[in-house]
Amino acid sequence: MSINTSTSLLTPTLVSDKVLYTIASNGVATVTFDNGEKHNAFDDVIIKTLTDIFHDIAQRDDIKVMVLAANGKSFSAGADLSWMKRMAGYSYEDNLKDANALAQMLNALNFLPQATIAKIQGAAFGGAVGLASCCDIVIASHKASFCLSEVKLGLIPATISPYVVNAIGLKASRRYFQTAERFSSDKAQQLGLVDEVVAADELTPAVEKMIATLLSNSPAAMRQAKQLAFDVAYQDINEQLLSDTSARIASIRVSSEGQEGLSAFFDKRSPSWQQPTTPTTAKSEG
């Protein structure tokens, strides 16, 4: 990736020929698919680019929120056809290595410490459903649609399955993994994959509103709250869990941001992390 410093609103932009990565001064990173002519399908090069970007974001304290977006009509058509054709000729060992690269990219996205928002303006097929499932918040246009299309090609949604099942549940996964039905953003919301469905021209404002909501909160507390959700999910409520959660709240109460937040509340002032918000998301066609 090369560095483009031509923008004035954003800090230096890391750019590949198909993925844009920008970081705004208020701490919002935007990762944008920029290969609309191919419906933002991804291949091994894009997967490596995304993995590098997600690892960079994870290590940066100045990034508070990440938005995953796309330019063009489609959010992403999933795997690129040329890449799939190449994979068909791979050995089992090569296919295993290739699949593991995708699995590691999805894992990096799913466990980013920052809050993540998927901005879905159009069709999201195959692996793109996995990307959405890995994000904390999914906001979709009413024009968006979704499909787990792998079985039509004699394949299965293997590497994305842990995240999709977690998002839509076992029962729905048993259906859509097998039928490869295309479903609407409204249906995706019913299933739990999408959090909000808005009109196409309201997608960017809806994402900006969510960003403003997130930026009004303590960055350290949001990171710890996200990790808390991962750590307590599906755990038995026992003495060990009670002790662990008690220790977490005690620790954050005496932390610098915990002290600042409580002081600001009682002093009836804004905490130090709150800043005026400006538009930060990449504009998507749709």
Number of domains in the chain: 2
Q: Tell me the mean pLDDT in the region 69-84.
A: 91
276 domain-assigned = no
Length of the chain: 286
202 domain-assigned = yes
281 domain-assigned = no
pTM (2 d.p.)? 0.89
| Same domain? 201 vs 233 | no
What is the rounded average pLDDT for all residues in the chain? 89
254 domain-assigned = yes
| Same domain? 49 vs 116 | yes
Please say whether the beta carbons of 279 and 25 come within 8 A.
Answer: no
Pairing type for strands 115-120 and 65-70 reads parallel
Look up residue 141 and give its two tokens: 């246009």
The string of DSSP letters for 176-211 reads HHHH--EEEHHHHHHHTS-SEEE-GGGHHHHHHHHH
Q: Which of 124-133, 212-221, 260-269 has the lowest mean pLDDT?
A: 260-269
Residue closest to 133 by CA, chosen among 101, 176, 107, 166: 166
What is the separation of C-alpha 278 from the centre of its chain, rounded to a whole number of angstroms? 21
| Same domain? 88 vs 149 | yes
Task: Write out the residue range of the structural domain in which residue 196 sits.
Answer: 2-215
| Same domain? 121 vs 235 | no
For residues 155 and 55, give the distance between their C-alpha atoms in angstroms, rounded to a whole number.
Answer: 29
Does 62 score more than 60 pLDDT?
yes
At residue 25's C-alpha, the angle toward residues 24 and 27, to 5°, is 70
Please say whether the beta carbons of 281 and 211 come within 8 A.
Answer: yes
248 domain-assigned = yes
Q: Tell me the mean pLDDT in the region 103-122.
A: 97
| Same domain? 93 vs 28 | yes
Q: Tell me the mean pLDDT in the region 265-280.
A: 74
| Same domain? 197 vs 234 | no
Which residues have a Cβ under 8 Å from the Cβ of 90 and sit 6 or more positions away? 98
One-letter amino acid at 209 equals K
Instruction: Return the half-sphere exposure (C-beta side, CA atoms, 13 A cut-off) of residue 131.
Output: 35
For residues 211 and 29, give the distance between their C-alpha atoms in angstroms, rounded to a whole number.
Answer: 11
**pLDDT class for 229, splitting at 50, 70, 90?**
very high
Q: Tell me the mean pLDDT in the region 79-103.
A: 87
For residues 178 and 151, give the distance between their C-alpha atoms in angstroms, rounded to a whole number.
Answer: 7
231 domain-assigned = yes
**pLDDT class for 250, splitting at 50, 70, 90?**
confident
For residues 42 and 182, give the distance between their C-alpha atoms in angstroms, rounded to a whole number.
Answer: 20
φ/ψ of 7, rounded to 5, equals -85, 145
Does 205 score more than 90 pLDDT?
yes
